[in-house]
Structure 1
Amino acid sequence: MKKFDGKTVIVTGGGGGIGGATCRRFAAEGAKVAVTDIAATGTQAVVGEITSNGGTAKAWMLDVANRDDINTVVNGAAAHFGGLDIIVNNAGISVRIAIDDEGYDEAWVKGLAVMLTAHQRIIRAALPYLRKSKSPRIVNIASTEALGATALHSPYSAAKAGVVGLTRSLAVELGRDGITVNCICPGPITTGMTARIADEHKAIYARRRTALGRYGDPEEVAHMTLSLCLPAASFLTGAVIPVDGGLMARNA
């Protein structure tokens, strides 16, 4: 048997990057995967890859800033697959803006809607199904920006710091239901969000800031997410785990 045979997982932002790698990793271990994203092209590509390799997956278009979308997709995935066991809140956007820029309020509202409010809404929609699962897991994807901030990223950093707080609070609240809630804080990872950064600048940053001297791959984050959902992690909850090549461990 594979590690997640019979389990169902919802991944937001599953159309590429860390989310796509997470979907593929769970499917390879036998999970039934609900691949959700605001862009249909990415989800269909990930589902096609999974099914061509013998896995089970279905795509849903999901705007995580839309409450009705969330309820429709969560309930639809549970009905299609016969329940839910694992939630991976991964969807995010890049928000870079100065505090005194004219569009700051809009950036703030959108950043928190996509990267924080959506997390709690998805969890709330999924709770009835998670409470019926024999091994319910929630993994929230935050960022090292929640632990040490960068200028011009205050909406992003605030949202990600909120994810850390939400994770810890819900770990305490939902522990009596046997639901574990953990958080991963990726550091510099090669994804669509970082694609616009020149390779030479990535290399310089990685050498200066990380212990391993490189950017990470989405699969390296996906493996940590998978690990948090294994039976061996059943006593781990409320954890905030940097997957950052030693970024936060380094002084200078």
Structure 2
Amino acid sequence: MAEFRKLSRSVNELTVLVTGAASGMGRATAMVFAAEGANVAVTDITAAGAKAVVAEIVADGGIAKAWSLDVANRDDINAVIADIAADFGGLDIVINNAGISVRVAIDDEGYDEAWSKGLAVMLTAHQRTIRAALPHLRRSKCPRIVNIASTEALGATALHSPYSAAKAGVVGLTRSLAVELGRDGITVNCICPGPITTGMTARIADEHKAIYAKRRTALGRYGCPEEVAHMTLSLCLPAASFLTGAVIAVDGGLMARNA
């Protein structure tokens, strides 16, 4: 009988980069990783927001540092990732979480601008971040990439075509890079959150959220950012070394429900 292998479920002392970490799922992800002993690079276009999350983490006894990062700017990505790796002595985990809300009709005059901005922030930024981090990930003993997409990549909503296209692109990018980077031992996985209570959904009235959740999800409710963050953590554990190219819906059963 083969000897039982004890695989580590600890990210203690690993260094993780989280984009869009000043609020919502990004903030929850940063705090969950910090609580598990990781060194967290909290990045966001809003410097004050990133610093506030770091202050929360440090107050709880965690290790984190803040960087201002505009993921739509290639030079900014390259400079910040180099600085993070130098500061923490390496980089093990990349969480591409930064996103924006894009709602526009196909025949709107501002469609081209919305399309360009949506893809720049939610798709192009992902590949640029990965490319900048790749030399460091190849030196890591536990290299992990998690791309945050959306259930909008799996089933679309009207007036969200730039958003849906970007998120569907993230799914394709994830699968392709999982195949390409597997030889380096780098796992690449994707999470598709469903209806989550974040800043992006704050404009929706609570009564409308309740109606939608009861009608569309198996669990009958919106999820919280921490529920997504813990799935992200699970994909980054050393023990998750044989899981790559996966696209996981964290959606309360939204995509499973037929009616």
Indicate which of 17, 23, 43 corresponds to 2:50.
43
Superposition pairs of residues 173-212 of structure 1, within 5 angstroms: 173-212=180-219
69, 74, 88: which one aligns with 2:95: 88
Is the 1:2–1:29 Cα contact (8 Å) retained in structure 2? no
Letter in 2 for 1:232: A
Shift of 1:41: 2.1
Shift, 1:2, TM fit:
8.4
Residue 201 of structure 2 aligns with an amino acid whose one-letter code is T
> Does the residue aligned with 2:191 lie in a helix, a strand or coil?
strand
Structure 1 unaligned residues grouped into runs of 5+: none
Aligned partner (choices 127, 130, 147) of residue 120 of structure 1? 127
Deviation at 1:78, TM superposition (A): 0.4
What is the aligned partner in structure 2 of residue 137 from structure 1?
144
CA contact 2:187–2:241 (8 Å) conserved in 1: yes
Aligned length, in residue pairs: 252
Alignment of 1:233-252 (within 5 A): 233-252=240-259
- Which residue of structure 2 lines up, in the alignment, with residue 151 of structure 1? 158
The TM-score normalised by the length of structure 2 is 0.96
Q: How big is the shift at 1:40?
A: 1.5
Query: Is structure 2 residue 60 aligned with structure 1 residue 53?
Result: yes
- Matched residues in 2 for 1:141 and 1:22: separation? 11
Cα deviation 1:133-167 (Å, max 9, x = unaligned) = 00100000000000000000000000000000000
CA distance in 2, matches of 1:218, 1:228: 16
- Hey, what's the Cα distance between the residues in 2 that align with 1:187 and 1:72? 33
- 1:178-213 per-residue CA deviation (whole Å, 9 max, x = no partner) reads 000000000000000000100000000000000000
Counterpart position of 1:62: 69
- Quick one: which of 162, 169, 172 aligns to 1:162? 169
Counterpart for residue 7 of structure 1: 14
Give me the whole-angstrom Cα distance separating, in 2, the residues matched to 1:149 and 1:122.
26
Distance 1:232 1:59 in 2: 28
Instruction: Give the residue type in structure 2 aligned to 1:153.
Output: H
Partner Cα separation in structure 2 for residue 152 and residue 250 of structure 1: 23
Pick aligned residue for 1:218 from 212, 216, 225: 225
Q: Percent identity of the aligned residues?
A: 83
Aligned equivalent of 2:4? none
Q: CA deviation at 1:8?
A: 0.2
Does the 8 Å contact 2:119/2:166 carry over to 1?
yes
Aligned partners of 1:5 and 1:232: how far apart in 2?
Answer: 13
In structure 2, what residue type is equivalent to 1:68?
D
* Corresponding letter in the other structure for 1:233: A
